[in-house]
Chain A
Amino acid sequence: MFIFADVKKYKKHIRFTLALSLICIILIGLTTCDKGQAPGIADGAPSVYYWRTTLRLDSTERAFLAQHHIEKVYLHLFDVVVADGKCQPAATLAFNDTLPADIRIVPTVFLTEECLHADTTDLASHIVARVAKMCQAKRLRHAHELQIDCDWTPTSREAYFGLLARIRTQLAALSDSEAPEGWRLSTTIRLHQLSQPAPPVAYGVLMLYNTDSPYKRDSRNPIFAPEDIQPYLRSLQHYSLPLVAAYPNFRWQRLFHGDEFKALLYSENLSDSTVYEPVEGDSLYRVVQGRTLHVELQGSHDVRLLPGDEVVVTRPNAGELISTARLLHKARPSLHNQVIFYHLDHASINQLNQKDYETMYHLQ
């Protein structure tokens, strides 16, 4: 212990202590810098996904792009699914409109995990050729990157990484004056994939949504729950691939009978008071008249609404989004070199207010 009354006597000790403290501070700083140096991307910009099957923007959507200075749109071009035992494109985007000319477009393709268990021999060339043809046919300027979205698992990892490597090779051949070295390849990364080796791509988009199952009624917010993200902080700090963040702004209308999940009601109008009665503001409705929602409305199967069924409306909580984003920022600042919202859609845009978007797009 030092006796401060006799400073001179212990001057040497004090110097030593200060030096030691400085070294500690530097070391701590280095450790922090190590986190801070987790790779990011150089060309980050406010971005958004466009995931509908028809490209048509209304005034609200155009205003959103302008107001938030959106520079990049990750444009979903098609899915790849297994049909008749073969990988085939599906849900191809119909172009009924154009995006503002100054926006960079990143063509995005969703691949079902099932495809990775099918024959993928020619899949890379099929995907790249079709994307290139679509970009050329629809004059998608500034498109020099392809993003693949796939919920791969450890069992399909090898097939997926192999496919990505082949796609990357194919993309290298797509060089032009704007991209002399060919196109870049990126991919989505789900939270559970952070514990796996990184895929062979330029960077990943960390999907910070769909954090829990929508089928459980009493679970945390299944779209975005901080508790479901926190366990991945450590993996995030050490993940070797450059990452950027994608946050949700969409809502789900989940139909339950008691606690039993029945369906997601995609396009159902809950303000139709002849069918739905609001129970808790805009977050819970009860069905008051039975009816069948045909497959055309529901996507995969007919859904029977029964009196007493309830529709739980779930949306991300802005406060939780911002506080969790700040936590993630501390763990890996480069994550927010670019923030992407999923997705550009009139109804989704209104789930958060302008100030929240501003905060999220400019996280420091």
Chain B
Amino acid sequence: MTEDKRWPRLGFYVCHCGGNISDYVDVVKVRDALAEEPGVVVARDVMFACSDSSQNEMIADIKNLKLDRIVVASCTPRLHEITFRNVADRGGLNRYTYYHANIREQTSWAHRDDKEGATVKAIRHSRAAVAYARLSEPLESIKAPVTPSVLVVGGGIAGIRAAIDLADAGIAVHLIEREPFLGGRTAQLTNSYPQDSKGSEVAARLIAEARKRDGIAIYTNAELVGLDGYIGNFEARVKLNPRYFKSSQAKTSLPEQLGGEAPSKFDYGLSKEGPVLMPPFSGAYPELPSLNMEACSEDCARSISQAYGDAVDLHQKSESLTIRAGAVIAAAGFDPYEPKEGEFGYRTHPKVVTLQQLHRLVELKMLKDVHNIAFIYCVGSRQVKTGDEDVNEYCSRYCCNAAMSISLVLLRMREELGGDLRLYHLYRDIRTYGRNEVLYEEALKKEVVFIKYSEEDPPAVSAAGGRLTVTVKDLLTVLDDKLEIPVDMVVLVTGMVPKQSNDALPQILRVPKGADRFLLEVHPKLKPVETAMAGVFIAGTCQGPKDVRETLASAQAASSKAAGIALMTQLELDPFVASVDPKMCNLTKACAAECEYGAIEFKEFPGLGEKAWVNGARCKGCGACVAVCPTGAIQLKGLSNEQLKAQIEALGRKVEI
């Protein structure tokens, strides 16, 4: 170990990550190489740096070896930088003197094909972190006030659940829903497993709870168009589209002449709707109708005026609303997969429907005289990538359970359907995980025939001779011949896809999408509802396929994370802002011209005259000013030009192993 009076006394820890790092990086060589670095008085390799025992060892080293700095080489700083800053804190060091080397995501996992190369790179990254830490200076976090409210984007069950929980914690909630009514997709379900409750009843119960709470401001026909600001202080721009109906005196039944011809969105095209949208289910909110002006001609407007009188105001305009919030929950939901025309006979045969349509058919009591129904599983899910086109490689997870559950409903209502009922489930695999297995067990005992098909040879749907027939090769029998099953209806068990209509949302929220195009969490296990945008959380199916229960659980997780911010009296922000050495400033003012935030002001300094000065409360720490300063007078705290060059020198230095 090197003793060097010129440098702070450093402790270096390289993590095995239980093999995640040490299988591909020789951590002992990393440890030994770093032990040679000036200032490093202790270098250790540890199995899990984030474990309590390793953290305690670091704290003991700080005390026993009189360390001034610690450096950990492990996973991405997005996971554990804060963990080790807290260790520094607990050991009595300044938390911002800590630095982190990323040798898992950016080293061991990326170079599993090259252990020597990965080891060399890990040494470079570790040396750079040590070079940084040597020059790091104690800093104090910036205290910022917090707006004590939360914006919830999406008024389906996830958004409503989150709003209720936040209101119960005493937090003001702004709940915005783009559609005219709350309830989301759950309200469209005729039953939701496991308890067989009607989706609209689940939604209505949550809506009633939300309405009991004063702290929830609900906006419908409200669209998020922009989001500025940062964790603790967001400012959302919301467009409120006119509803035109203003009084609950409005009639609940439509005048005859206003019946429309447009396919109903709520009923997935199985019924027609006109320009006046009535609350779609019992317990819907608002109880007011909403007028779709785009579908309303002049004649129509005249009839509406006559029919509804003072209950409507056809001159309403859209309004802009600014909502301030300390945190944001995205609960924007999903779209059901829409099969392509002709995919398993969809849209080419009227008796081929999606799982979502089946729910509406049952709910609207439109099913009559059906005796044989084929369910084809995994439609739009678990697709195999063949070209450049995006496909849905994921399993939509809820559909097996939903297909079982609605089949049991159909079997219970067989008398209504015409007595004799047989269901054929054509599946790739059955994934009725967890408690949902009982649904499968029950279906197996009833008149449900399970036939396993191969994705290479999927079932074919034909309507030759006016008879709907499904042809399938049963993988589990030895028969070479395909089965031909005459049916009255085919149900495509369609999965979930990211909402198509709000593809601008990720950009507005500044939240990345995953490879599946759903909104992406920071870490599936460690930060499952947090996003790369601090203060923005994700709930429900905008993150990926979930069932009702999982959606509500994630909504409660997101609401408690958001509450954690909204309830803070003040927020501690990283102090990595720009600052000026007035002695070096020669007043070119290039920095001020570069700053997006007006953070650079000019002040009189005693004995120096007018010089640049940074308003730390306004500075975001991007460093754009640093790039244009001719003298290097303006630098970032936490990343000085000297620290930057010291890291480059350490990264570029030759490594002998």
A in complex with B: no
